[in-house]
Amino acid sequence: MQKLHTHLNTIINDLSKNGYAICENFLPESIIKALAAEAENRFNNGEMHVAKTGKNTSLQQPTFRNDSIYWLDEDSQNLNTQTYFTQMHVLKNMLNKSLLLNLHDMETHLAVYPISGVYLKHVDQFKQTNYAPKQQRLLSSILYLNDNWQAHDGGELRLYLNNTNSETANNYIDILPSAGRLVLFLSADFWHEVLPATRYRISLTGWFRAR
Protein backbone atom coordinates (compact mmCIF):
# COMPACT_ATOMS: atom_id res chain seq x y z
CA MET A 1 0.00 0.00 0.00
CA GLN A 2 2.93 2.31 0.68
CA LYS A 3 3.95 1.93 -2.95
CA LEU A 4 0.44 2.64 -4.22
CA HIS A 5 0.25 5.88 -2.27
CA THR A 6 3.62 7.02 -3.55
CA HIS A 7 2.32 6.32 -7.04
CA LEU A 8 -0.85 8.26 -6.43
CA ASN A 9 0.93 11.27 -4.96
CA THR A 10 3.17 11.47 -8.02
CA ILE A 11 0.16 11.20 -10.31
CA ILE A 12 -1.62 14.02 -8.48
CA ASN A 13 1.42 16.31 -8.57
CA ASP A 14 1.99 15.69 -12.29
CA LEU A 15 -1.67 16.14 -13.18
CA SER A 16 -1.95 19.45 -11.34
CA LYS A 17 1.30 20.72 -12.86
CA ASN A 18 1.07 19.41 -16.43
CA GLY A 19 -2.47 18.16 -17.01
CA TYR A 20 -1.15 14.67 -17.66
CA ALA A 21 0.69 11.93 -15.76
CA ILE A 22 2.49 8.70 -16.57
CA CYS A 23 2.81 6.01 -13.93
CA GLU A 24 4.74 2.72 -14.19
CA ASN A 25 3.64 -0.56 -12.59
CA PHE A 26 0.24 0.78 -11.66
CA LEU A 27 -0.97 -2.76 -10.86
CA PRO A 28 0.96 -5.93 -9.99
CA GLU A 29 2.37 -7.84 -12.94
CA SER A 30 0.13 -10.85 -12.32
CA ILE A 31 -3.00 -8.68 -12.61
CA ILE A 32 -1.72 -6.99 -15.78
CA LYS A 33 -1.03 -10.41 -17.32
CA ALA A 34 -4.48 -11.68 -16.40
CA LEU A 35 -6.19 -8.59 -17.85
CA ALA A 36 -4.19 -9.01 -21.05
CA ALA A 37 -5.21 -12.68 -21.25
CA GLU A 38 -8.85 -11.72 -20.75
CA ALA A 39 -8.65 -9.18 -23.59
CA GLU A 40 -7.01 -11.74 -25.88
CA ASN A 41 -9.62 -14.38 -25.07
CA ARG A 42 -12.51 -12.03 -25.64
CA PHE A 43 -10.96 -10.87 -28.89
CA ASN A 44 -10.33 -14.44 -30.11
CA ASN A 45 -13.83 -15.54 -29.07
CA GLY A 46 -15.43 -12.75 -31.07
CA GLU A 47 -16.81 -11.02 -27.97
CA MET A 48 -15.37 -7.64 -28.93
CA HIS A 49 -16.87 -5.23 -31.41
CA VAL A 50 -15.23 -2.74 -33.72
CA ALA A 51 -15.20 0.63 -32.01
CA LYS A 52 -17.01 3.59 -33.51
CA THR A 53 -16.35 7.23 -32.85
CA GLY A 54 -19.05 9.41 -31.42
CA LYS A 55 -21.56 11.71 -33.02
CA ASN A 56 -18.93 14.13 -34.20
CA THR A 57 -19.32 13.88 -37.96
CA SER A 58 -15.80 14.92 -38.82
CA LEU A 59 -14.58 11.83 -36.98
CA GLN A 60 -16.56 9.36 -39.02
CA GLN A 61 -14.20 8.30 -41.73
CA PRO A 62 -14.06 4.50 -41.70
CA THR A 63 -10.32 4.40 -40.99
CA PHE A 64 -10.44 6.84 -38.09
CA ARG A 65 -9.85 4.04 -35.60
CA ASN A 66 -9.29 0.29 -35.94
CA ASP A 67 -9.58 -0.99 -32.38
CA SER A 68 -12.05 -3.56 -31.13
CA ILE A 69 -13.47 -2.99 -27.68
CA TYR A 70 -15.25 -4.72 -24.82
CA TRP A 71 -16.99 -2.65 -22.13
CA LEU A 72 -16.24 -3.72 -18.57
CA ASP A 73 -18.81 -3.84 -15.80
CA GLU A 74 -17.86 -2.29 -12.47
CA ASP A 75 -19.94 -4.93 -10.70
CA SER A 76 -18.01 -7.74 -12.32
CA GLN A 77 -17.08 -10.62 -10.01
CA ASN A 78 -13.83 -11.11 -11.89
CA LEU A 79 -11.00 -10.56 -9.41
CA ASN A 80 -8.67 -8.79 -11.83
CA THR A 81 -11.38 -6.43 -13.00
CA GLN A 82 -12.27 -5.75 -9.36
CA THR A 83 -8.65 -4.95 -8.50
CA TYR A 84 -8.53 -2.47 -11.35
CA PHE A 85 -11.75 -0.71 -10.34
CA THR A 86 -10.73 -0.64 -6.68
CA GLN A 87 -7.48 1.14 -7.51
CA MET A 88 -9.26 3.54 -9.83
CA HIS A 89 -11.69 4.40 -7.04
CA VAL A 90 -8.85 5.12 -4.64
CA LEU A 91 -7.31 7.31 -7.34
CA LYS A 92 -10.63 9.06 -7.98
CA ASN A 93 -11.14 9.86 -4.31
CA MET A 94 -7.65 11.28 -3.99
CA LEU A 95 -8.08 13.37 -7.14
CA ASN A 96 -11.39 14.75 -5.93
CA LYS A 97 -9.85 15.69 -2.58
CA SER A 98 -6.50 17.01 -3.78
CA LEU A 99 -7.45 18.71 -7.03
CA LEU A 100 -11.05 19.55 -6.13
CA LEU A 101 -12.33 17.67 -9.14
CA ASN A 102 -15.85 16.40 -9.24
CA LEU A 103 -15.20 12.97 -10.70
CA HIS A 104 -18.21 10.76 -10.30
CA ASP A 105 -18.20 7.51 -12.25
CA MET A 106 -16.25 5.86 -15.02
CA GLU A 107 -16.75 4.10 -18.31
CA THR A 108 -14.13 1.50 -19.14
CA HIS A 109 -13.33 -0.80 -22.01
CA LEU A 110 -10.67 -3.27 -23.04
CA ALA A 111 -9.24 -2.43 -26.45
CA VAL A 112 -7.32 -4.49 -28.98
CA TYR A 113 -5.70 -2.84 -32.00
CA PRO A 114 -4.80 -5.19 -34.85
CA ILE A 115 -1.35 -5.00 -36.43
CA SER A 116 -1.03 -1.60 -38.18
CA GLY A 117 -4.19 -0.37 -36.43
CA VAL A 118 -4.42 3.32 -35.60
CA TYR A 119 -6.59 5.89 -33.90
CA LEU A 120 -6.15 9.20 -35.71
CA LYS A 121 -5.62 12.48 -33.89
CA HIS A 122 -8.60 13.38 -31.69
CA VAL A 123 -9.74 14.67 -28.32
CA ASP A 124 -11.82 12.48 -26.02
CA GLN A 125 -14.14 15.29 -24.96
CA PHE A 126 -14.88 18.58 -26.61
CA LYS A 127 -15.17 21.58 -24.35
CA GLN A 128 -18.85 22.43 -24.15
CA THR A 129 -20.05 25.97 -24.50
CA ASN A 130 -23.74 26.37 -23.80
CA TYR A 131 -24.61 22.70 -23.99
CA ALA A 132 -23.94 20.71 -20.83
CA PRO A 133 -24.61 16.98 -21.02
CA LYS A 134 -25.22 15.20 -17.74
CA GLN A 135 -22.04 13.18 -17.88
CA GLN A 136 -18.82 14.63 -19.14
CA ARG A 137 -15.53 12.91 -19.69
CA LEU A 138 -13.09 14.83 -17.56
CA LEU A 139 -10.06 12.59 -17.26
CA SER A 140 -8.86 9.93 -19.69
CA SER A 141 -6.93 6.95 -18.39
CA ILE A 142 -5.18 4.24 -20.34
CA LEU A 143 -3.56 1.22 -18.74
CA TYR A 144 -1.36 -0.71 -21.16
CA LEU A 145 -1.21 -4.49 -21.07
CA ASN A 146 1.52 -5.39 -23.58
CA ASP A 147 4.24 -7.64 -22.26
CA ASN A 148 7.80 -6.93 -23.36
CA TRP A 149 6.89 -4.12 -25.76
CA GLN A 150 9.93 -2.78 -27.63
CA ALA A 151 10.48 0.64 -29.21
CA HIS A 152 10.59 -0.94 -32.67
CA ASP A 153 7.12 -2.41 -32.09
CA GLY A 154 5.70 1.13 -32.51
CA GLY A 155 2.12 1.66 -31.37
CA GLU A 156 2.98 4.79 -29.42
CA LEU A 157 0.39 7.04 -27.88
CA ARG A 158 1.30 10.45 -29.30
CA LEU A 159 0.20 13.07 -26.80
CA TYR A 160 0.23 16.66 -28.05
CA LEU A 161 1.40 19.21 -25.51
CA ASN A 162 1.12 22.98 -25.13
CA ASN A 163 -1.93 24.83 -26.24
CA THR A 164 -3.36 21.52 -27.22
CA ASN A 165 -6.70 23.16 -27.92
CA SER A 166 -5.25 23.78 -31.33
CA GLU A 167 -5.55 20.89 -33.72
CA THR A 168 -2.34 22.03 -35.36
CA ALA A 169 -0.20 21.86 -32.22
CA ASN A 170 2.85 19.84 -33.09
CA ASN A 171 4.74 19.62 -29.83
CA TYR A 172 4.25 16.09 -28.56
CA ILE A 173 5.57 13.16 -26.55
CA ASP A 174 5.40 9.53 -27.68
CA ILE A 175 4.54 6.93 -25.05
CA LEU A 176 5.06 3.21 -25.63
CA PRO A 177 2.13 1.00 -24.58
CA SER A 178 4.23 -1.08 -22.16
CA ALA A 179 2.61 -3.44 -19.66
CA GLY A 180 1.68 -1.81 -16.37
CA ARG A 181 2.03 1.77 -17.60
CA LEU A 182 -0.88 4.08 -16.78
CA VAL A 183 -1.35 7.34 -18.67
CA LEU A 184 -3.81 9.99 -17.47
CA PHE A 185 -4.70 13.29 -19.11
CA LEU A 186 -7.45 15.89 -19.03
CA SER A 187 -9.89 14.71 -21.69
CA ALA A 188 -10.73 18.10 -23.22
CA ASP A 189 -7.21 19.50 -23.26
CA PHE A 190 -5.03 16.97 -25.04
CA TRP A 191 -5.13 15.99 -28.67
CA HIS A 192 -3.66 12.52 -29.10
CA GLU A 193 -3.39 9.62 -31.52
CA VAL A 194 -2.35 5.98 -31.65
CA LEU A 195 0.44 5.15 -34.11
CA PRO A 196 0.55 1.84 -36.03
CA ALA A 197 2.28 -1.12 -34.40
CA THR A 198 3.90 -4.33 -35.59
CA ARG A 199 2.04 -6.34 -32.92
CA TYR A 200 -1.45 -6.53 -31.53
CA ARG A 201 -1.79 -3.73 -29.01
CA ILE A 202 -3.86 -4.24 -25.87
CA SER A 203 -5.08 -1.67 -23.36
CA LEU A 204 -7.66 -0.92 -20.72
CA THR A 205 -9.10 2.53 -21.31
CA GLY A 206 -11.29 4.46 -18.93
CA TRP A 207 -12.83 7.89 -18.59
CA PHE A 208 -13.72 9.49 -15.31
CA ARG A 209 -16.87 11.50 -15.77
CA ALA A 210 -18.02 14.53 -13.86
CA ARG A 211 -21.42 14.52 -12.26
208: Cβ contacts below 8 Å, ≥ 6 apart: 88, 92, 95, 101, 103, 104, 105, 106, 137, 138, 139, 141
Question: Pattern of binders to ligand OGA over 165-204, x per CB under 6 A?
Answer: ------------x--------------x-x--------x-
Query: Vertex 102, ends 100 and 107: CA angle to 5°?
Result: 135
Among 8, 32, 142, 143, binds ligand OGA (CB under 6 A): 142
| Count of positions on this chain that bind ligand OGA (CB under 6 A) | 9
- When CB distances are held under 5 to 8 angstroms depending on the partner's kind, the choice from Ni ion, ligand OGA, none that residue 123 binds is none
- When CB distances are held under 5 to 8 angstroms depending on the partner's kind, the choice from Ni ion, ligand OGA, none that residue 202 binds is none
Among 12, 34, 91, 124, binds Ni ion (CB under 5 A): 124
- When CB distances are held under 5 to 8 angstroms depending on the partner's kind, the choice from ligand OGA, Ni ion, none that residue 205 binds is ligand OGA
What residue type is 162 in one-letter code? N
Helices 29-44, 79-99: inter-axial angle, 10-degree rounding? 120
Least distance from Ni ion to the Cβ atom of residue 196, Å? 16
Cβ atoms of 194 and 63 within 8 Å: the answer is: no
Cβ atoms of 182 and 142 within 8 Å: the answer is: yes
**Is 31 or 144 the residue whose CB approaches Ni ion more closely?**
144
The region that residue 197 occupies, defined by phi over 0 for left and psi between -120 and 50 for alpha, beta otherwise, is beta
Residue 157 binds ligand OGA (CB under 6 A): yes
Residue closest to ligand OGA (Cβ): 157
Chain contacts with Ni ion (rule: CB under 5 A) = 124
Chain contacts with ligand OGA (rule: CB under 6 A) = 119, 124, 142, 157, 177, 192, 194, 203, 205
